[in-house]
Each structure stands twice: as structure tokens, then as C-alpha cells.
Amino acid sequence: MKYIGFLTALFLLGCASTKNTTTNEQPINMLLDNWHQAAAEANFENYFDALTEDAIYIGTDATEHWDKASFAAFSKPYFAKGKAWSFTSLQRHIYFADDGKTAWFDELLQTQMKLCRGSGVVVWQNDGWKIKQYVLSMTIPNDNTNEVVKIKTAIENPLIESLQKKNK
């Protein structure tokens, strides 16, 4: 009987010790919520401190692909006005790599542009979770896709041609 109790205790200890605390969603939720809040409050320092030094931000416009320094320079005037932008997560999904040091997420956001999607990658660093990549995209109701394509065509066709020439 002592043997069964000993094995049970070992089993329970083993289960407790295998729980990987780095796959806890709460710190990532807090990071992203605080990051969005920093933009709403125009807290430039907190907003950009949440990004890794080699972070990439991809915006809604096809030309918006920024490294951290470029995005900070672009954003500075908005933050200087006292309010950058206001995004509130309505739904978020977080997924972890096997090592627990990388996670990716997607979120549905309420914004001044109505519903948008955010997605990205966060990495664990010595000072906690940081955003390595963020992609913001506007949602388009499927029934309105043709209307949006008509609006985008005149603007984006020249960009498409330019990129095709560059890639040849």
C-alpha cells in the first residue's frame, strides 16, 4: 500500500512539474491589451517598448511595411497630438510553439475603421514577452468585395506593376 501511495505522489509531482508556465496566455493578453492602451493614451514610450528591437509592423496600406525605427518615426506625430489610435480586442486567439518561447496570435479589433484584424508574433526575451511582428488588416464583408476592389484598382494597379517589374 505504501508503494502505491509513493507512486501516486511521484505521478502527481511529475504532472505538476511538466506544466510549462511559458504557455500561459495571460502575460501575452496583458502585453497586447497594454500595447493597444498605450496607443489610445498616446504613450509613445510604452507603445514602442513593447516591440522587439527588430520588430516589423505591417499596416493596412500595401506600402506599410516598417521596421521599428521607421514605424516610430511615422507614428511620432500622431502620438504628439495626444491620441494615436484606439484599438480594442474583441476576440483573441493565442498559439504557442513547442519551446514556449514563441507565440502567435490573431485578434478581432474594434477600431475607428470599424472591425479590423490584428495578427502577429511575440517572443519571450529576458525582460518578458515582446511583439516581434504585427499585421493590421481591415475586414471586408464578402458581399462587398467587388465594390472594394473597384475602389482599390486605380490605386493599386500601378503598385502591382511596379512590384512586378522590381521582382523580374
Mean pLDDT of the chain: 90
- Asked whether 37 and 116 are in contact (CB, 8 A), the reply is no
| Structure confidence at residue 13 (pLDDT) | 44
Name the CA radius of gyration of the chain, rounded: 21
Beta-bridged to residue 89, according to DSSP, are 109
Whole-angstrom CA distances from 26 to 32, 34, 43, 110, 152 are 10, 12, 22, 20, 39
The arithmetic mean of pLDDT across residues 128-154, rounded, is: 97
Q: Is the pLDDT of residue 163 over 90?
A: yes
**Predicted local distance difference test score (pLDDT) of residue 37:** 97
Compute the average pLDDT of residues 142-148: 96
Render pLDDT for 66-76 as a digit per residue (tens, 0 to 9): 999 999 999 99
| Domain definitions of the chain by residue range | 25-166
Picking from 153, 93, 101, the residue whose alpha carbon sits closest to that of residue 117 is: 93
State in Å, rounded, how far the first CA of the chain is from the last one. 75
Residue 47 · residue 38 · CB < 8 Å? yes
pLDDT digits (tens, 9 = 90+) for 27-53: 999 999 999 999 999 999 999 999 999
Q: What is the CATH number of domain 25-166?
A: 3.10.450.50
